[in-house]
Structure 1
Amino acid sequence: MLGNFQHSNLRIEVEAEENTIRESLLYPRKLQQWLWPQSLDSNLPEEFYTGLKFTSRLGPLAILHQVDVAESNHLRLILSQGIDGFHEWYWGNGWVQSRLEGISLLPLNLAQTFGLIRLREFLTNNQTQL
């Protein structure tokens, strides 16, 4: 794989309960709502499960994901093609942590930061609509 090895570990505070965060990360329909501009396969199940494989796209770039861990407060995705590495999520009441490591030509830290900001906005908007 061409690119540079990159790693980043970010943690943010969010105004959301653990269950709301879980749904936003483990339910592809909800994940797709805040993940823009990245898009997911359209034929995904209601919830991620260990062993599931799917593709996401960022413009012309395809990233293959394999769900390695899907638990009540932990998601780990093994990445290949556009990024060779992994993306790991942990969460609890009021916080989300994202750890990303891989080889890619993409600026992974920038994409990770943008994704966390979008997730926080999504969770905040959903809380105010309740």
Structure 2
Amino acid sequence: MEGQIVPQCGSLSDVQGQIVPQCGGLSDVQGQIVPQCGDLSDVQGQIVPQCGSLSDVQGQIVPQCGGLSDVQGQIVPQCGSLSDVQGPIVPQCGSLSDVQGQIVPQCGGLSDEQGQIFHSVGACLISSKKI
């Protein structure tokens, strides 16, 4: 083994990095893991404390309490379910899927494939091209 393991109260596997105290189950392969109380898997990035379940492959994940998957972008705290492939996602309280554009907070159901979606209070589907 290469690395230093410090006191903890769960089960840890340290291959190339340093693991600090935690109270769940962590596996650190190439990065540094900080205290947390859930289940985290860090392959190439840094994971900070959170209270749900996160998987970070190429980006940085910040605290949240839902379910997020970040492949190429940055995900910020939210309270629903978001999938960001090519753009940034901001806090929202519904369910959004952004493929090529930016999605802003809303409280209904929107799907944006080519443009930008603004606040709404119902269910809208914008499929026309930008002007």
Give the TM interval when normalised to the shorter protein.
under 0.3
Determine which structure has the larger helix proportion and give its number.
1
Determine which structure has the larger strand proportion and give its number.
1
Q: Find the structure with the greater CA-based Rg.
A: 2
Q: Normalised by the size of structure 2, how large is the TM-score?
A: 0.19
Q: Structure with the greater relative contact order (CA < 8 A, sep ≥ 6): 1 or 2? A: 1
Q: Normalised by the size of structure 1, how large is the TM-score?
A: 0.19
